[in-house]
Structure 1
């Protein structure tokens, strides 16, 4: 029996997490646990709760055949808390799925996204993590055929988790176009699009609101996740949790400050 932990950042009452649970329940031989924020926690990044206690509350979760808890905390809290408090040492989750998020998490969104932090926290704890986001920001109550679209990916990741074949220290960031299944052009590997929007602050009566603008680019890089999703592809990006630039690290040995250092590194 494959043990699956589900979380999100839109909150345990969000439609997206229900759609994800339903899609996973359609697979064979799975046991599903849901631990998700009691309220929306979009944009919290990888924040953890230190200054108040976590108090998980059992949740009926639409009467689906899962075990579910709501937590007054962030997605990373949910995964970390579930890992340490819900599961016995010999029965940890085999894989964590986070989502399905309202709207995409593309490019540098991965640093702000609570959805991505749920998958990243799983990988930090040594468990495969997968984040899923859906391009329905302007149509938030409509999840269309997303369950059918992602089913092959869910099956693949679950099969690889059973065989312990998923690469460690990498979480998988998946973005799905808001299209009927027949119009989805394929599932493709994608790089992060780091410059596909610009931040703007709009001044209104109560203060400044952070917004985004998406300028047209004359030469978008075709392997970028933003480019691919907007053209009807499901993008899949492997994101390594080790942010060290190892090439630059090696070059630093040529810095005069480093070369002139006569002491020993202990």
Structure 2
């Protein structure tokens, strides 16, 4: 029996997490758990709760045949709580799916995104994690044919998790175009697009509201998630959680203050 954990950052009553659960219910020999924030937690990044107690509450999840809890915390809290508190002793999730997020998580969004933090926290705990986002920010109640789109994808991820073929230290960031199924051009491996929008602050009341601008015609040197998605592809990026730049690490051995410190030690 494969144990699947589902979380999100839009809250346990969001439509996207229901659609993700429906896609996973088609899998055979799967036991599904839903542990999600009791309210929306978009943009919280990888925040975890230290100064107040988490209180998991059992939740009737759309009448679907799953075990579900709402938690007064962030997506990373939900994965931690499920792993440490909610599974029976000796049992852990075999794979974690986070989403389906309202709107995309492309490029540097992965650092701000609660959806991505759910998948990242799974990997930190030694469990494969997949974050899924849907390009429907301006049509948020419409999830189109997303269930049919992702069924082959989630099936392959679960099969690879079951056979131990998914690498450690990597979570998978999936962005899905808001198109009819027959107009999706395919699934494409993608690099992160780090420059496809510019942050701007706009006056709002007595303060300033963060907005985004999307310049046209940026040069592309490789297949980037933003470009692929906007051209009709489902974009998938493997994101390594070890952010060490080992090339620079080696070069630092030649830095003067590093050399001088070595001499002092000698």
Flag whether TM exceeds 0.5 (same fold): yes
Structure 1 unaligned residues grouped into runs of 5+: none
Instruction: Verify the 8 A CA contact 1:221 1:227 in the aligned structure 2.
Output: no
Aligned counterparts of 1:24 and 1:10: Cα–Cα separation in 2:
18
The answer as to whether partners of 1:97 and 1:132 remain within 8 angstroms in 2 is yes
The alignment status of 1:186 with 2:152, answered yes or no, reads no
Write out per-residue CA displacement over residues 25-78 of structure 1, whole angstroms, 9 at most, x where no aligned residue.
011110000000000000000000111110011100001000000001000000
Partners of 2:264 and 2:178 in 1: CA distance: 58
Please, what TM-score do these two structures have when normalized by structure 1? 0.98
Aligned length: 265
Give the superposition deviation at 1:221: 3.6
Q: Distance in 1 between matches of 2:89 and 2:126?
A: 13
Aligned twin of 1:54? 54
Kindly indicate whether residue 258 of structure 2 is the aligned counterpart of residue 258 of structure 1: yes
Please name the residue that 1:247 is paired with.
Answer: 247
1:117 aligns with 2:156: no
Do the aligned partners of 2:190 and 2:237 also contact (CA within 8 Å) in 1? yes
1:138 and 1:190 map into 2 onto residues whose CA distance is 24
In 2, are the aligned partners of 1:222 and 1:228 still within 8 Å (CA)?
Answer: no
Cα distance change, pair 73–218 in 1 and its aligned pair in 2 (3 A): closer
2:264, 2:238 → 1: CA distance? 39
Q: Compute the displacement of 1:260 (Å).
A: 2.0
Structure 2 gaps, min length 5: none
**Structure 1 residues 246 and 89: alpha-carbon distance in aligned structure 2, compared to 1, 3 A threshold:** farther
Residue 259 of structure 1: how far off its partner (Å) = 1.5
Is 1:236 aligned to 2:236, yes or no?
Answer: yes
Residue 45 of structure 2: aligned partner: 45
- Give the deviation of 1:206 after TM superposition: 3.2
TM-score, structure 2 length as denominator?
Answer: 0.98
